[in-house]
């Protein structure tokens, strides 16, 4: 949707991946499977001969992630990997990248965990098994609450210095501006979406106007059920590439479903488990519907900004059609109603119930 320039992964194909693995001394057998990822490119690759990790465990397949050029700086990606190592050292179930410097006699390394395969930085992970969590079971929410509290405990130990931080509503206002800049390429229904999006954020400003600034810590940053693999031992967190400095609630609210009593019931379970391990500031509950609005707006802008990447038209084929924008506008209209109710109600019930 941007310009007809070549997309950033055009020169990164299977031969690049296989050559890169061979440069590490690995012997891929030629099979690869593209995994569900849009911002980056992620593949499962099989090996002719197993690779043995530091514990002597054999791996006959590995996960390769190619980072989107220009999206993150080298320092930002290395901070992501350092956070993953911190979590793994604290015995948290997180997918941490392979330390290439320790594991292979490799050249073209950037730090310990990245290698350059022109034109992208690449990292490798052991393959992690698991299944989709059963989100409707209270015990699943309980375990998630405890694990996220532990993750945040590690996150509070130090700060990110290179990765982006929480900007409040500014990031969502920027997203609206990005969509508006592409207006000529979008259907007329986009105008109505833009108006509703601005109304949402203007109301959101009123909801949070008197709130103190939330305390920031290192968070997962994209905590939703699609980034959780479930095993007999519990959750296993993947995809830390959106980790940032942010408030604790950012990693909690995306796990909730429904509205009203259904949302409050899930929130009560999640927070009770979280608070059994870590403190939680109840003032952050004011941000739940605000953040939901921000995510709806920012997700639409993300698609618009990436639509020149062939992966996006395939995944969102109706994006340039009026019906798509009508549906997105309906979502925002519903959210605007929720925000207005939150503003009229003042302190949410949840702040009293869970304090």
Q: How would you label 207-228 residue by residue, b for 16+ Cβ within 10 Å and e otherwise?
A: bbeeeeebebbbbbbbbebebb
CA distances from 252 to 53, 87, 144, 225, 285 (A): 33, 18, 9, 11, 10
53 is catalytic: no
User: Among 270, 259, 224, 274, which residue's Cα sits nearest to residue 339?
Assistant: 259
> What is the SS3 assignment for 18?
helix
Q: Which one from 222, 241, 251, 309 is the annotated catalytic residue?
A: 222
Residues with Cβ < 8 Å from 276, sequence gap 6 or more?
145, 146, 149
User: Among 67, 42, 78, which residue's Cα sits nearest to residue 121?
Assistant: 67
239 is catalytic: yes
User: For 182, which DSSP code?
Assistant: T
Token readout for 225 is: 């059920």
The C-alpha atoms of residue 112 and residue 185 are separated, in whole angstroms, by 42
Token readout for 203 is: 């109301």
Q: Which one from 19, 53, 239, 281 is the annotated catalytic residue?
A: 239
Would you tell me how many other CB atoms lie within 10 Å of the CB of residue 341? 15
DSSP H/E element including 65 = strand 58-66
Cite the active site residues.
Answer: 222, 239
């Amino acid at each position: 949707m941007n310009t007809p320039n070549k997309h950033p992964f055009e020169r990164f194909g299977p031969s690049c991946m296989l050559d890169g693995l061979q440069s590490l001394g690995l012997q891929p057998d030629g099979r690869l499977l593209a995994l569900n990822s849009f911002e980056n490119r992620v593949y499962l690759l099989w090996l002719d001969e197993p690779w043995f990790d530091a514990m002597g465990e054999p791996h006959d397949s590995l996960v390769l992630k190619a980072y989107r050029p220009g999206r993150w700086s080298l320092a930002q990606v290395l901070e992501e990997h350092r956070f993953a190592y911190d979590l793994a050292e604290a015995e948290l179930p997180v997918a941490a990248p392979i330390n290439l410097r320790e594991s292979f006699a490799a050249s073209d390394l950037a730090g310990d965990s990245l290698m350059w395969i022109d034109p992208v930085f690449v990292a490798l992970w052991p393959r992690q098994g698991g299944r989709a969590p059963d989100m409707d079971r209270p015990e699943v929410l309980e375990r998630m609450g405890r694990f996220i509290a532990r993750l945040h405990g590690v996150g509070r130990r130090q700060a990110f210095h290179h990765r982006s931080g929480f900007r409040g509503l500014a990031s969502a206002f920027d997203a609206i501006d990005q969509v508006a800049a592409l207006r000529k390429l979008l259907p007329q229904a986009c105008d109505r979406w833009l108006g509703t999006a601005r109304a949402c954020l203007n109301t959101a400003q009123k909801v949070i106007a008197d709130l103190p600034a939330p305390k920031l810590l290192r968070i997962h940053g994209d905590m939703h059920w699609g980034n959780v693999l479930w095993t007999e031992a519990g959750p296993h967190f993947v995809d830390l590439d959106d980790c940032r400095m942010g408030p604790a609630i950012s990693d909690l609210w995306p796990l909730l479903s429904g509205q009203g009593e259904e949302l409050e019931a899930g929130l009560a379970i999640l927070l009770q488990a979280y608070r059994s391990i870590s403190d939680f500031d109840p003032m952050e509950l004011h941000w739940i519907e605000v953040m939901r609005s921000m995510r709806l707006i920012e997700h639409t802008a993300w698609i618009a900004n990436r639509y020149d990447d062939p992966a996006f038209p395939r995944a969102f084929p109706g994006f340039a059609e009026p019906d798509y924008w009508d549906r997105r506008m309906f979502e925002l209209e519903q959210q605007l109603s929720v925000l207005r109710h939150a503003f009229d109600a003042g302190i949410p019930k949840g702040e009293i119930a869970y304090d």
